[in-house]
Amino acid sequence: MAQLYNRVNKDILKQQLAEETYSRKTISFYRYVIMEDAAEFRDELYIKFSELNCLGRIYVAREGINAQMSIPEHNMDEFLKYLETTAYLKNMPIKYAVEDDGKSFYKLIVRLRDKILADGLNDNSYDVTNVGNHLSALEFHELAQKTDTLVIDMRNRYESEIGHFKTAYCPDVDTFRDEILMVTEKFKDQKDKKVLLYCTGGIRCEKASAYLKHKGFKDVNQLHGGVIEYARQIQKLDLKSEYIGKNFVFDNRMGEKINDEVVGKCHQCGSASDNHINCANDACHLLFIQCDKCAEKYNHCCSEDCKEFNTLPLEIQKIERKSRVFNGTNNRYRGLKLTEVACGFE
């Protein structure tokens, strides 16, 4: 019987990745499609992707598939051929990473989920297929510069604080559900305006646009392919990007530079920085922005408390964890780990 889960220690997997002598490409894709047997399809994907030495995170549900992956370049043709010969995956729009060091993932995870996007919404209360108009990168680029449009960032605060469209409204929230409710309330008196939605790769805008139309917004539009595809197309067209800063991504890179502007600020000293990290204290593991100077000062931790805790022997740390409260457990980020961010991933 084929192995259906990875049982190898993460340190070994990271070492194997570091020793690879070939290049990889980071891609992402999603599709809403009703699957007759999502569990069986999940197993099929794991077996095939393992054969091709693919890495990444794939969520499979009865409603569809959501994937971010790292593919060996020498297996890319076979991977794409597999997509084309698989009914659920045929003609799949693929988004390719803007900045790619080939180290975005070290492990293959294929999970069965109730939803491919953890949105916290009741899908039975509205028509999730009645989505907004899909705009090309150029169309979105031109419309985003007009004063009579509403440009809305459908990502979470920890994403938009390192990069966003110049004129965008960026909700100060940490979950997609809170965000969509906030947007609906804030713009309830502007339902006749042209609305432009964007997110990382497009999946959140599928749900958000349908929800806004359900709530009576008349002209709802979304950026096809998200920020990832926008950056690629604008570069090809040699246009000045309306998106400034980095694009937060849900893999080990944590971000890819869209232009040279640094939008974010270090959470510890306030200096310009757009470098997201997880606190080096595993008992905290807070996701936050840290500049190089503070990384040296705090030894890659979010506080003096975590820095000091990390110097304790492991035996003492294990005992102390039972009673200690760290920044990541009570901070507004709620100690979100990279692989556990509130919206799932795109």
Q: Domains in the chain, start-ordered, CATH in brackets? A: 10-112 (3.30.70.100), 123-236 (3.40.250.10), 276-340 (no CATH)
Contact indicator for 303, 327 with CB cutoff of 8 Å: yes
Query: Which stretch of DSSP H or E encloses residue 223?
Result: strand 219-223
SS3 126: coil
- Residue 227 pLDDT greater than 70, yes or no: yes
Percent of the chain with pLDDT over 70: 94
Query: Which stretch of DSSP H or E encloses residue 188?
Result: none
Structure tokens, 271: 């200096």
* More confidently predicted of 297 and 102: 297
What does the pLDDT average to over 6-16?
Answer: 88
Q: Which of 77-91, 106-120, 271-285 has the highest mean pLDDT?
A: 77-91
- What does the pLDDT look like over 105-135, one tens digit per residue? 999 999 999 989 877 777 777 888 899 999 9
Question: In the prediction, which pLDDT does 2 show?
Answer: 63
Q: Locate tokens 């009570």: which residue?
A: 330
Does residue 269 carry a catalytic annotation?
no
Q: Which segment of 37-41, 111-115, 326-330 scores lowest on mean pLDDT? A: 326-330
- What does the pLDDT look like over 299-310, one tens digit per residue? 999 999 999 999
Q: Where are the alpha helices (DSSP H) in the chain?
A: 10-18, 38-51, 76-84, 137-143, 157-160, 176-186, 203-214, 226-236, 292-297, 304-309, 314-320, 327-330
Give the angle 64-69-73 at the CA atoms, nearest 5°.
Answer: 130
For residue 53, count other CB atoms closer than 10 A to its CB: 16
What does the pLDDT average to over 63-84?
Answer: 96
Question: In the prediction, which pLDDT does 5 show?
Answer: 81
Q: Alpha-carbon torsion 155, 156, 162, 164, what sign?
A: positive
* More confidently predicted of 174 and 46: 46
- Residue 153 pLDDT greater than 80, yes or no: yes
Closest CA to 42 of 85, 102, 2: 2
What does the pLDDT average to over 18-45?
Answer: 94
- By DSSP bridging, strand 163-165 and strand 108-112 are unpaired
- What does the pLDDT look like over 192-225, one tens digit per residue? 999 999 999 999 999 999 999 999 999 999 999 9
- Residue 339 pLDDT greater than 60, yes or no: no
Percent of the chain with pLDDT over 90: 75
Question: In the prediction, which pLDDT does 102 show?
Answer: 84
**pLDDT band, residue 331 (cuts 50/70/90):** very low
Question: In the prediction, which pLDDT does 118 show?
Answer: 79
Distance CA 84, CA 29 (A): 14
R_g (Cα) of the chain, nearest Å: 21
Single out the catalytic residue among 199, 205, 284, 343.
199
- Residue 40 pLDDT greater than 90, yes or no: yes
φ and ψ at residue 75, rounded to 5 degrees: -110, 5
Contact indicator for 48, 142 with CB cutoff of 8 Å: no
Question: In the prediction, which pLDDT does 243 show?
Answer: 97
**pLDDT band, residue 78 (cuts 50/70/90):** very high
**pLDDT band, residue 326 (cuts 50/70/90):** confident
Closest CA to 123 of 76, 84, 66, 177: 177
Distance CA 79, CA 192 (A): 44
Closest CA to 243 of 338, 160, 335, 156: 160
Average pLDDT over the chain reads 90
- What does the pLDDT look like over 250-259, one tens digit per residue? 888 889 999 9
Question: In the prediction, which pLDDT does 250 show?
Answer: 84
